[in-house]
A and B are shown apart, each in its own frame.
Chain A
Amino acid sequence: MRTLISSLGLCLFLGGLVPGWAVDASVSADGTGRADPVARPRVDLWIAESPPGVEVLAAYGRITGSGAPDRLISASAEGVRAVRVHAAGRGPRGGALMNPVDGLRIPARDSVRLSPDGLHLMLMGPVHPLRAGEFLRLRLKFARSGITVVRVPVRRHG
């Protein structure tokens, strides 16, 4: 029995360490707690470590549809003032400028790539600097499949 409990604990521990894995059961968007019958998109993200004094971070990676089209409608994280979807673009003078985007369409059987030069998640105002090796619990709300919470690893750029 002791071995079984230890093994179970180890599994839970390892599960919590796997980057980008959803660690909380998804709940329906209406907040009832019932499991949603729609498969959740697969979330595989990482957060770039904060250089000194930087108060806005970004999350990159992929979100992949699990058979049905979906839409990321909002995101949040404990210890972060706001999480927004942005798209890298060009300003009137031809320089780089980011624009807020209203949600993120997730194709049924394809990935949305999040990158510095394209779409990405902006994490504004972290309470403390995030260092490589840490994890942030990111709460993603999808229009169709409800809420998913993932543990997202922090890594250095490059």
Chain B
Amino acid sequence: MLAALLSVLAVGLTGAWWSVRLSELPDVAMAASDGRPFTWERLAGRWGLVYFGYRGCPTACPTALSDLAREVRALGNRGDRVQVVMVTVDPDRDATRQLASYVAYFHPAFLGVRIADPDDLQAVCKAFGAAFAPAAEGGGEIEHSLDVFLIDPRGRLRGHLSPPFVRGELARALGG
């Protein structure tokens, strides 16, 4: 039921990327904030909500992650079938340990993912269609996508949601 309803939501929002599957995403070295390696297969059997952000982002990321946490909590027990992942677009400054406390601040089940190699990170962003440009030399802001990409339990990239989420939007979309 959850999968079906989320499916409707995702298709209704975008109707794109049907052909992209987890197995086709770049197979690069990734580390998760729970201390284990991360592979896209870890999302299998659940809905994966993938967001590209970074700890130093002062407005968009805290807002998006807070909204996501609120929406996942609103799902109640069904929230267990959703895994939110934030892939850091600032791997130089976001160590996995720091990512762990950062994402846990918003929701204990959120996962942070660090892709250390800049080329690998670019490849993953490109595969998702997520806008990304590293900060200029000497620091500054990182241009990054605000979309939350949806991967269905069968491992298909099904579309994206764009923040800000209206309160209860996800729960309503799931029939709650």
Contact = CB atoms under 8 A, between A and B. Distances in A.
Interface residues of A, number: 26
Contact of B133 (A48, A91, A156): A91
B130 to A, nearest CB: 8
Interface in B88-109: 98, 101-102, 105-106
Interface string B111-128: 000000000000000000
Given A95-B143, A98-B59, A158 B66 contact: yes
A58 B131 contact: no
Interface in A112-142: 116-117, 120, 122
A95 B58 contact: no
Interface in A81-97: 86, 88, 91-97
Interface residues of B, number: 27
A51 B102 contact: yes
20 contacts: A48-B59, A51-B102, A54-B55, A54-B62, A57-B58, A58-B58, A92-B133, A92-B143, A93-B143, A95-B130, A95-B132, A95-B143, A96-B143, A98-B58, A116-B63, A156-B66, A157-B62, A157-B63, A157-B66, A158-B70
Interface of A: 48, 51-58, 86, 88, 91-98, 116-117, 120, 122, 156-158
